[in-house]
């Protein structure tokens, strides 16, 4: 009997040591854990709000807010160094403002919260913040608030000022990043009659900006003038990354469209082509919609769409394309590219392709 007790004590000791070593020293970093979950709705004037409160056991939390690039109705909140605790993994919400939310492990240490809003993030307002303990609730909470609509803005109907052929029906509310290729110290390719690629790409990009904004889209431009995007004396990588960052820095960015002129050593090469990097189906779809419109509008030889290891495409987190409008190294196409009429036609064709993409994309 005595021996049996001795055995038990030893086994218990073993377990204690195992547990102490196993949990204590392995997890040196204090982690956050969700301690409570609660949601409610309230009215603010004409708008209805959904308020989600996630209680935490610590008073600090690192979090990142972004939008799912592939689904317009999904808000992502990355809670760093956090465990989900006893909270359910999938939670139904009020179904009027938001449908449901999920908690998923991400990067081993973090917790990804996804809230599926009813319509889309473009049409609904969201805010995410940390709320300190107060008299009623004694814990710090991560608060996600979602409204059923955007704050009303003074309505400006600029569409009426657009010529009929420039009216696009699917881009309103979309956020489109337009990158005028090269610029500043980088001329891009130069034609046989000294036309510079950077000047053509800027003109087309500015024209696209006018058309898209006129149709109610949000447009983010990598440059509005003849400048380097990163700044002078940058490395090539810094310069290209600065263009990618225009989209990265805005969670609402939907697509990235880079405008270029093609060039080749032989002046014979000609035609229009669109490049993409196959991150998802949407990349090639966007490329094909733009390519079809470009061919139709310009009558140029159709070089088709191609996937390519281009820096700005590979590093983009949203559907991205690079449009090679025409060959600046071909004398005939250089002449075309220099004409403002042709620059307008190309800008409009690209915008139409974008419009078709938003009308047809898989959500």
Partner 1 sequence: MKKLLIALMLVCMIFSIAGCAKEEPSPATSGKSAGISGEVNKQEAEDIKVKLYFPNNDASEMVAVEKTVKVTGTTKYKAAIEALLAGTTDKKLTNVIPKKTKLLGAEVVKDTIKLNFSKELIDDFNGGSTGEEMLVGSIVNTMTEFPEIKKVHILVEGKTVDTIKGHMDTSVPLTRMKELLK
Residues near partner 1, by CB under 8 A = 3, 6-7, 10, 13-14, 17-18, 21-22, 25-26, 181-182, 186, 188-190, 197, 235-237, 239-240, 260-266, 268-270, 273, 275, 303, 306-311, 314, 322, 324, 327-329
Residue among 215 and 298 whose Cβ is closer to partner 1:
298
CB of 177 to partner 1, least distance (A): 17
CA distance 101 to 88: 10
Beta bridge partner(s), residue 153: none
164: annotated active-site residue: no
> In this complex, which beta carbon is closest to partner 1, that of residue 165 or of residue 268?
268
First to last CA, the chain: 70
CB neighbours of 100 closer than 8 A, spacing ≥ 6?
A: 90, 91, 92, 93, 115, 116
Could you give the CA distance from residue 360 to residue 363 in angstroms, rounded to a whole number?
Answer: 9
Of residues 37 and 327, the one with the C-beta less far from partner 1: 327
Which DSSP helix (H) or strand (E) runs through 92? Answer: strand 90-92
CB of 129 to partner 1, least distance (A): 36
Between CA 114 and CA 74 the distance in angstroms is 6
Six token digits for residue 309: 């290891």
Closer CB to partner 1, residue 138 or residue 309? 309
255-262 and 126-131 as β-strands: parallel, antiparallel, unpaired? unpaired
Smallest gap from Cβ 190 to partner 1, in A, equals: 7
Nearer to partner 1, 54 or 205 (CB): 205
CB of 12 to partner 1, least distance (A): 11
Separation of CA 6 from chain center: 63
For residue 138, with 0-12 CB atoms within 10 Å meaning exposed, 13-18 middle and 19 or more buried, which class applies?
exposed
Minimum distance from residue 26 beta carbon to partner 1 (Å)? 5
Catalytic residue among 166, 197, 239, 324: 324
* Residues recognised as catalytic: 324
């Amino acid at each position: 009997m005595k021996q049996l007790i001795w055995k038990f004590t030893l086994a218990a000791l073993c377990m204690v040591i195992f547990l102490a070593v196993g949990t204590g020293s392995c997890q040196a970093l204090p982690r956050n854990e969700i301690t409570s979950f609660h949601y409610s709705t309230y009215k603010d004037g004409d708008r209805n709000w959904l308020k989600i409160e996630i209680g935490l056991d610590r008073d600090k939390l690192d979090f990142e807010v972004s939008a799912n690039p592939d689904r317009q109705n999904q808000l992502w909140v990355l809670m760093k160094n956090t465990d989900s605790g006893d909270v359910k993994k999938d939670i139904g919400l009020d179904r009027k403002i938001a449908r449901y939310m999920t908690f998923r492990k991400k990067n081993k240490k973090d917790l990804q919260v996804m809230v599926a809003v009813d319509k889309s993030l473009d049409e609904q307002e969201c805010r995410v913040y940390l709320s300190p303990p107060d008299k009623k609730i004694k814990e710090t909470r991560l608060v996600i608030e979602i409204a059923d609509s955007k704050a009303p803005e003074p309505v400006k109907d600029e569409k009426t000022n657009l010529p009929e052929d420039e009216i696009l029906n699917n881009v309103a509310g979309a956020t489109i990043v337009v990158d005028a290729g090269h610029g500043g110290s980088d001329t891009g390719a130069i034609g046989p009659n000294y036309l510079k690629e950077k000047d053509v790409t800027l003109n087309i990009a500015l024209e696209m900006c006018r058309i898209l904004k006129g149709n109610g889209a949000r447009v983010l431009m990598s440059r509005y003038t003849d400048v380097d995007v990163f700044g002078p004396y940058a490395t090539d990588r810094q310069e290209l990354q600065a263009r990618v960052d225009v989209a990265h820095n805005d969670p609402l960015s939907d697509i990235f469209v880079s405008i270029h002129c093609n060039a080749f050593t032989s002046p014979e090469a000609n035609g229009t082509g669109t490049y993409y990097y196959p991150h998802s189906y949407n990349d090639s779809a966007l490329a094909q919609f733009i390519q079809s419109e470009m061919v139709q509008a310009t009558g140029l030889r159709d070089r088709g769409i191609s996937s390519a290891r281009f820096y700005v495409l590979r590093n983009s987190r949203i559907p991205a394309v690079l449009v090679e409008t025409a060959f600046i190294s071909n004398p005939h196409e250089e002449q075309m590219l220099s004409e403002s009429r042709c620059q307008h036609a190309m800008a409009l064709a690209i915008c139409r392709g974008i419009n078709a993409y938003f009308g047809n994309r898989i959500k």
